[in-house]
Amino acid sequence: MKQLTITIPLVKKDEAELTPDEANLLEKAKQATYRSYSPYSHFSVGAAALLDDGTIIEGANQENCAYPSGLCAERTAVFYANAQYPDRAITLLCVAARDTEGNFTPRPIPPCGGCRQVLSETEDRQHQPMRVMLYGTEGIYFVNTVKDLLPIHFDTTYL
């Protein structure tokens, strides 16, 4: 038996260290949390996707009393971007969340497993990396590719 260890490169920034484009995208993701429909979890998530032409697409989590029928903020934003701008690549995706008390979370919120898989395939479709920015009031994490969030990912090479 051989034990393997997977590490991911991660950059942590404070808001003061963000570029103007990053700060703008973060503000859009934070604003999107207020459009969340989350009457069951009371956990509001917003996402903002920056396309390669400068367009910004926003999404928010949408819950349903039949839980599997809801959709996460990341997938809401990515699916809309892919449907409306199929030839545009997402260069940066930002995710922010507010807790059940309505406060932005101290720790950055990572995408769920389902979102990671969708983001991974979107990155494959667009043939270029998608940077991901995860917001928390105590710091902002950056990864340079979705593959860093899902290092052992399922893709078409397994089909």
- Check if 123 is active-site: no
Query: What H or E segment, with its residue span, contains residue 125?
Result: helix 113-126
Residue 11 has which token pair? 């950059």
Catalytic residue among 63, 74, 101, 123: 74
Alpha helices in 8-158 (DSSP H): 20-32, 73-84, 113-126
Interatomic CA distance for residues 43 and 33, integer angstroms: 9
Helix (H) / strand (E) containing 140: strand 139-143
Residues labelled as active-site residues: 74
